Amino acid sequence: MALWGFEWGVSSSAYQVEGGWNADGKGASVWDTFTHKPGSIVNNANGDVACDSYHRADEDLYMLRALRVKSYRFSLSWPRIFPDGSRASLNQQGVNYYNKLINGLVASNITPMVTLHHWDLPQALQDIGGWENVSMINYFDEFCDFCFATFGDRVKFWMTFNEPYVIAWVAHGQGLLPPGIKNPGYAPYQVAHNLIKAHAKVYHIYDERYRKTQGGLVSISLNADWVEPKDVDVFREVAAADRALQFRLGWFAHPIFKNGDYPDAMKWMVGNKSELQGLPASRLPAFTDEEKEYIQGTADVFCINTYTSEIVHHVTSLLSPPSYDYDQDVREAEMDDSPATAMKGLRVVPWGLRRLLNWIKEEYGNPEIYITENGMSTDSKTTVDDTDRETGAENMNCHLFLLAHNLDGVKLKGYIAWSLLDSFEWLNGYSIGFGLHHVDFNHPERPRTPKRSAHYYYDIMRNNAAAHRAPWSRSGSCSCC
C-alpha cells in the first residue's frame, strides 16, 4: 500500500492551549466571557492560562519534533490578532506569536495546518450579533485575507472553520456553548447560512489573490459520527439514519461539495414543518442561484473530525404539533457494546469510522479526505499510563483507517490525532484529557510528559500502521475487515 506522503499529525486549538487570555493586547473572545461567568464550566475552570502555550511555543515545538509528526494542526485566535475583530485593531504581538510558531514548525519540517476559526469569536463581534449577523461575513473575510497575506508564504493548508455544525447547532440551537443562544428552530439555520457564505467568500479570496503565488489549499473541518440505523432491514430506519447524516454533515458538505444547496432531506423536512406551523416561508433560508454557484466547489479536500458512532431510529414527531427542536425527527442512542471512553457518548467504533469514510466517498464523489480530528479521552486521574487507550481500544484506530484506504478505495490522505496535549476541554474544563502528552495543570510551569499513547502513536507513524497490531475484538478476530 502506498502511504508515501500520508500526512500524520496532531491537533490543538487556540483557546484550549494558549492561555495568555489578555496578554500583550489580546482582546476577549466569547469563550473568555463565558468561562469567567461562575458556574459555566466544571470546577469553574477557564482557559486563562490553559497549557500556557502562548508563552511556551518552544516547549510545544520540542514535543512536536520529538513525536516526529509531519503536520501540526492549530488554530489562530482571532481576538489575539484583531482584538476587536476588525483589522483596524491589529495587535502585532499576536502576529509575532504565530510567526514564531510557524517559523519553528517550518524549520523542523513540520507542515502547519491552520484553522482560521475554532469557536473563539472576538467578544466585540458577538456584541453586534455574532454569527447571526450577516456582517460577520465581511469581518471574517477581512481577518482571513490578513492571515493569508501574513502567514500564507509558509502556511499551505488552511481550514476556514472548525465544526461549523457545533457553532450553529450546539452554540445557537441547544445553547450549550457560547454565546449560549437557545433558539433551535431559527438561529442555527441563520448562523449556518452565514458560515457557509463566509467560508465560500474566503475560498474565493484565496483563489483570486493568493493561490497563484502561494499554492496552498483551503478547506473546512466538518464533523460527523457514523450513524447506524437501528434496524438495517427496515427502510424508514435506514432513511432516518441517512437523514441524520444529512442534517449534520450534509448541512455544510452538500452545498460545498455537491451543488451549492442544502440537502433535499433538510429542505423537505424543515419546509414541511414550517408549513405545518403556518409560517409564510421555510425556517431554512434559501440560497439564490448565484449564491449556489458561488458556494459549490469551495473546498480543495474533505476534512472530517470524527470521534464515535451512534444508532438512530425514526420518530414520527417528538412533540405535537410538529416540533422544530429537532427537525430531522430521529432519536439517537449510544453504541453501548463498544469500548467506552472517559467522555460520555464517545465510544470507539472502528467499523463505524470505516462506514463513515465510505459514505463520504460515495456521497461526495470520492474526494481526498483528511481526518483532521480523532482521539480518545481519559479522565484527569490518568497521567502517563493511559494503557486503556493504547491496548483496550487500539488507540487511534489507525490500522482501520488505512484498511479503509486500502480496501475500499477511499482516498485518505492524512490522519491528525486529537490532541497534542491535554488541554481545556470546553464544558469539561480540565476533567478530561485527550492529549498524547499529560500536562500538570497544578504546576505553574505546566510541565508536559509523553503518555504511553505518544510512544504508541510514534510507532504507528513510523510504521505507517500497515499491519494489524492486535486482534480487535474480544473473540480474537478482527471485527473490522
Enumerate binding residues for ligand BGC (CB under 6 A): 13, 16, 162-163, 223, 305, 373, 418, 425, 434
Residues constituting the chain: 481
Amino acid (1-letter code) at residue 47: G
CB 9 within 8 A of CB 71: yes
Q: In whole angstroms, how close is the CB of 148 to ligand BGC at the nearest point? A: 22
Q: How far apart, in Å, are the Cα atoms of 240 and each of 145, 275, 338?
A: 40, 21, 22
Cβ closest to ligand BGC, residue 314 vs residue 448: 448
CB of 115 to ligand BGC, least distance (A): 9
Of 163, 310, 363, 373, which is the active-site residue?
A: 373
How far apart are the C-alpha atoms of 259 and 54, rounded to whole Å? 41
Smallest gap from Cβ 73 to ligand BGC, in A, equals 10
The cell for 29 is: 473572545
The SS3 call for residue 159 is: strand
Nearer to ligand BGC, 16 or 382 (CB): 16
The type of residue at 239 is A
User: Minimum distance between the CB of residue 163 and ligand BGC, rounded to whole angstroms?
Assistant: 5
- Active site (annotated) includes residue 368: no
- Residues forming a β-bridge with 302: 369
Question: Which CB sits closer to ligand BGC, 87 or 344?
Answer: 344
Phi/psi of residue 331, each to 5°?
Answer: -125, 140
Q: Which residue has the cell 499554492?
A: 215
Complex with ligand BGC: residue 13 or 190, whichever CB lies closer:
13
Residue 244 or 284 having the CB closest to ligand BGC: 244
Q: What is the DSSP letter of 468?
A: -
Shortest approach of ligand BGC to residue 26 CB, angstroms? 19
Cβ partners under 8 Å of residue 421, min gap 6: 12, 17, 51, 60, 63, 435, 436, 437, 438, 439, 448
Beta strands in 258-364 (DSSP E): 302-305, 309-314, 330-334
Consecutive H or E run containing 161: strand 157-162
Q: How far is the CB of 434 from ligand BGC (least distance, A)?
A: 6
> Given the complex with ligand BGC, which of 150 and 338 has the nearer CB atom?
338
Active-site positions?
373
